[in-house]
Structures are given as C-alpha cells and as structure tokens.
Amino acid sequence: MNTLYQQHIATLMQRYENAMVHFKLEAIVIASGHKTYYFQDDHSHPFHGYSGAQQWLPFDIGADTFLIIQPGQKPTLVWPIRDDFWHAPNPIPEGEWQNNWHIEPARRDDKWFQNLPKQSAWLGPKSDLEKRDITSCDGLNAYVDFAKAVKTPFEIQALQQASQSAVHGHLAAKQAFLEGKSELDIHLAFLSASQQTSAQEPYPGIVGLNEHAAVLHYEHKAINALPNSRTLLIDAGANCHGYASDITRTYTRHQDDFSALITGLDTLEQSLCQQATTGVAFRDLHQSCLVDVAQLLKDHKICSLGIEEQLEKRIPQVFFPHGLGHLLGLQVHDVGGHQIDSSGQLSMPDDHAPFLRLTRTLEEDMIITIEPGLYFIPMLIEKMQAEVAHHGCDLERIQHFMPFGGIRIEDNLQIKSESSINLTRQAFQALE
C-alpha cells in the first residue's frame, strides 16, 4: 500500500501545485471540519470529514484536523491534541504513511497558522474561530473538485476494498431475506457481515421489502418480519479510507413474471456496463437506458406502445425516474459530476432527465455507478394516467406488479477504454 500511497500523494501534490500556479498562491490550508450538534443538545451529528482533506490520508480523518500544502515541501498535518477525558484519546495512527508528512500536533487555540505565507487560501469548512485568519479563493474548490473524478491507483484499491466489504454484507442480507427476516434484521445482518456500524455506512443503507422497494431512498427499517416477503431491494455500501461503495441488488423468492423482470433488468444493466467506456458521454448512456427500459416494458407487456412513442410520451421515466449513475469516491454522489472543466462551468441535465448526476464524458479511471431501475410507484403511475392520453400501459398488469415494489441493480465500475472493470461483480464472483 505504501508505494501506491506515495504515488497518490505525489499526484495530489502535482494537482495542488498546478492550482497554486493557476491562482497565484503560496499555500493551501485544507480543513477537515468540526463537529456540529443537535439543537440545544450535547450530542453531535455523525462526523464526516471534508472529502478534500480526507483524500490525503489513509485512515478516517477526524474533526479539527488541518493540512498545509506548499509547493516543493512535504505537506504538514496539523493534528488536534484533545485535552478531553470524556472521549477516547486521539493518537496519531502509526504507519509508513507518516514518512510523507511533517506532523505538527496542536491545541485548538494554538496559532499554528501565523507563519503561513501571505498568499494562502483556505479550502473546506470554517468555524468562527478560523474565519478571521485565512481567506478562501474563488474557483479553487471547483479546480480541485474537477480532478477528483479520475482516481489514482491508491483510490481504486480503496474502492475495490469498499466493494468487497459491502458484498460480504449483501450476501448475508440475501440470506436473511430468504429466511423471512424483517427489514431491521436484514440491515443488521448486512452491517455485521460488512463489519461496520450504521454510523460508519457511506450512506444510510436502504432495505425495502415488498412495496417499500418502490421508494427510491426508503429510510425506515421495519422491525416486524412479514409473513409474505416477496421482494428485497437492498442498496447499501461500505467504506475504505473514506472511499465508498454503492451497491444495489433486488431479490425475489419464486420463478415468476416478476423474477423474469429482474432478469431482464439485470441483462440491461450488464449491457450498459459494457457500453460505459472511455469517451462515452454519460448523457447518451442515460438515453440508451431509457430506450432499453422502453423495450423491457414492451417485452414484459407492461406498455404496448412502440419505443419511439414511449420516449415521446416519457413513459420510461414513469418507471425509471432517476439518473443512470454518478461519480463515486469519497462522497457517494461524488463532486464534479456536472462540471465541464476545472473553471467550474456546469453542464446541467436536460429536462427529460432532471435527476442525472453525471453529465461528463467518461475518462479512464473514473469510478462511476451504473444503476438502472424499474419501479411501480403509485404517485407516478397516477400522474401518467391523469396526464398522458393513450399511454398504452396495461393497468391490470401494473396492479399485479405493485406488491413487488420495484427493482434496482447497481454496480461500481472502473472506466477503461476497451472494457471497464466491474468492481462489484468481481467482488460477488470472488465470494459467491
């Protein structure tokens, strides 16, 4: 890991040195952020360090940690000393990573920033204490965010590891579903097998049985086991050094027309994964997905209209209302997905795909998700009935599918020019 980590630091130094030349800076200070608290309470929200700081360190960064980046110098890590007997001590992690850093332990009100060069810029969240001293630099955030989309080998290894950990959890969750367990118990099985607490998950795991599978970001975990659990949709990931996996699987119990729909969506998803290679505009891939969903609706006798007419009437969007995927990294919906360039110009999605989080052209070693879905969402079906004349949908067949909720299948891909690497399917193959 150390060679990969060293290379990673060298790449980040290069990116930041370019930024300092571009913005005429002598130093950049990156803050991890500080704890925030529930209103009128002494409990803090779970802490997630700012991704721009986390990116530099091979362990989970804590609050009140600062990095100082200067051209041609080892970066400095300002490590928080906590005089606090209420919480666990905060020792500096051992390891070879330290060779790449100058480490400066400091207390909260130490004036470690007083000797910084005049042209220093701040990156990341600021507390009131810090507001006075170092100013932000317009455009710096967008500049560094744009580069984050292409991952270094160190980051790719972490993302692979995050997929592997999550897949342990997914296999345990599938088993718990087949045993008829509740949403809560399925989630607990996932957490235990992926070796994490719910606060450590990169995003709150989505565990929906039956109709709950139609709620895109279903946020509850019902305690009761159902006598007839037909479908499990689980969208859950894990972390490695702060890098996330974001994986969805949908299971059912019987061989029937709903399982045939799952197989159809799985084939569609794998075909899109194969098409996701260097140079492909992600907007176009999303459009291909809409065409494929229209075909699936026709093949499974949900909608009798031809593909063109379905697209014209936006029928696929009734059943697949979200985007095909997004950048993945330290943030699950990683930054920079709409950026055209490092100046921060944006390319927003078209109105027929308003929730698309990625409008960039794919580049080698971007990590993205591919996550088509097909759901029976009462609100959207009613809206279609009210607004679309001659929609061609078989409402009885839709009623038949509604108790199953819906389907999403989501993999994490490392983009390559010939054939991208499916980190998720690799992990399932290694463990199943």
Which residues lie near ligand GLY (CB under 6 A)? 203, 235, 246, 332, 371, 410
Judged by CB under 5 A, does residue 201 bind Mn ion?
A: no
- How far is the C-alpha of 391 from the C-alpha of 315, rounded, in Å? 7
Nearer to ligand GLY, 113 or 203 (CB): 203
Rounded to a whole number, what is the distance in angstroms from the first to the last CA of the chain?
26
Quickly count: other Cβ atoms within 10 Å of residue 92's Cβ.
13
Nearer to ligand GLY, 46 or 105 (CB): 46
- How far is the C-alpha of 174 from the C-alpha of 182, rounded, in Å? 12
How many angstroms from the chain centroid is the CA of residue 105?
32
Beta-bridged to residue 369, according to DSSP, are 412
Residue 202 CB, shortest distance to ligand GLY, in Å, is 8
Nearer to Mn ion, 334 or 410 (CB): 410
- How far is the C-alpha of 391 from the C-alpha of 389, rounded, in Å? 6
Any binding-site annotation on 371?
yes
Pick one of ligand GLY, Mn ion, none as the site partner of residue 55 (Cβ within 5 to 8 A by kind).
none
Pick one of ligand GLY, Mn ion, none as the site partner of residue 269 (Cβ within 5 to 8 A by kind).
none
Nearer to Mn ion, 64 or 235 (CB): 235
Q: Which of 368, 346, 333 is nearest to 142 (CA)?
A: 346
Q: Which of 177, 167, 239 is nearest to 431 (CA)?
A: 167
Judged by CB under 5 A, does residue 246 bind Mn ion?
A: yes
Residue 418 CB, shortest distance to Mn ion, in Å, is 24
Pick one of ligand GLY, Mn ion, none as the site partner of residue 203 (Cβ within 5 to 8 A by kind).
ligand GLY
Nearer to ligand GLY, 134 or 167 (CB): 167
Residues 360-379 that bind Mn ion (CB under 5 A): 369
Q: What is the DSSP letter of 404?
A: G
One-letter identity of residue 112: W
Any binding-site annotation on 410?
yes
Look up residue 273 and give its two tokens. 């994964």
Chain position whose Cβ is nearest to Mn ion = 235
Counts of helices then strands in the chain (DSSP H, E): 13, 15
Pick one of ligand GLY, Mn ion, none as the site partner of residue 222 (Cβ within 5 to 8 A by kind).
none
Binding site for Mn ion (CB under 5 A): 235, 246, 248, 369, 410
* Binding annotation for Mn(2+): 235, 246, 326, 371, 410
